[in-house]
Amino acid sequence: MNPNKYSLTFACYNALDYTKICVDSFLKTSTPLSRLVVVDNGSSDDTVNYLRGLPLGGLVLNRKNLGCGVAWNQGALVQQAEWSVIMNNDVVVSDQWIQSLIETAEKNNIKIISPALIEGPLDYDFEPFVKNASINMKNALRMNKAHAVCLAIHESVWMDIGYFQATPTLWGFEDTLFFHMARKASIPMAITGSSWLHHFGSITQTEMKRERKLSDSQGLTGRYNYKLLNESWIERKLRQFRNKQSSKQFRQVELSQYGMTVHGIRKNHQFEWL
């Protein structure tokens, strides 16, 4: 695939060890760093010095933490392409992940697409797992679903619904708003089993909670952020119910057909399929 077809971006805030793991997986899978734009949200560790030593496609250094929405927009705009891949920095990518992601989207006329993922500790042999899983589940699609750990966005989406809401105090609600607007505009979305990542799990949010002296059980997002969705109480409850029901149905079908699903969690050295 022509690398100019896509751009990659992630935001980071401290947690340098995970950024290094992510970049190392890029290099191991020949994912070109020249297509990667990194936005640093005011890290206080050695992240900036490390990033300055990489042959990146772009580097944005914010003076303070401006939140995900601002950073994602900055990254997507620095190096514009037909497909913008917005992702976390606490992930490990696999061989052919970007090609499989975009090719599946184009084959099925999907405009926002996310890879399948395993979350939690990396206590399993990732490479052979992905090799088998991407073949086994290459035709699996969870339609009308996506996640912000990684999503490829076609350039037409920006024109239809705009970019992420750039309000720093949303603290992680930006993806919910974006997906809500995409569904209202009937933009095709999906999670595909043809492409896989490992996600260590909310590392940046954990860092921000520590800084703000919040417990792990406390959320970063504002208590009343849901009001930005402009839904009545009944509409919100119906949406949540339908989302749970559809996820349950997808899980049942995938387990029946493939013996696994597009979303797994590692617990006690075992896979739990969601």
The CATH code of the domain that includes 242 is 3.90.550.10
Name which residue leads in pLDDT, 165 or 205.
165
pLDDT of residue 21: 97
Q: Could you tell me what percent of the chain has a pLDDT over 90? A: 81
- Expressed in angstroms, the distance from the first to the final Cα of the chain is 31
The reported pLDDT for the residue numbered 218 is: 47
What pLDDT sits at residue 211? 57
Note the pLDDT of residue 239.
87
Report how far residue 56's alpha carbon sits from residue 64's, in angstroms, rounded to the nearest whole number.
Answer: 21
Contact (CB, 8 A) for 131 and 97:
no
What's the rounded mean pLDDT across residues 247-271? Answer: 97
Average pLDDT score, the chain = 92
Q: Are 170 and 118 in contact (CB under 8 A)?
A: no
Query: Beta strands 112-119 and 150-154: pairing type?
Result: antiparallel
Q: What is the mean pLDDT of residues 201-206?
A: 62
pLDDT of residue 101: 98
Whether residue 49 has pLDDT greater than 60? yes
* Cα separation, 54 vs 116, whole angstroms: 28
Q: What's the whole-number mean pLDDT along residues 247-264? A: 97
Structural domain harbouring 159 = 3-273
- Cα dihedral sign, 187-191-197-200: positive
Residue 173: CB atoms within 10 A of its CB come to: 22
Residue 195 corresponds to which tokens in the numbers above?
A: 């492409």
Return d(Cα 79, Cα 65) in angstroms, integer.
21
- Stated pTM of the model: 0.91
Q: pLDDT tens, 104-159?
A: 999 999 999 999 999 999 999 999 999 999 999 999 999 999 999 999 999 999 99
Residue 64 has pLDDT above 70, yes or no: yes
> Hey, what are 27's tokens?
């290099």
Counting residues of the chain whose pLDDT is more than 70, the rounded percentage is: 92
Q: What is the mean pLDDT of residues 49-66?
A: 97
Q: How many domains does the chain have?
A: 1
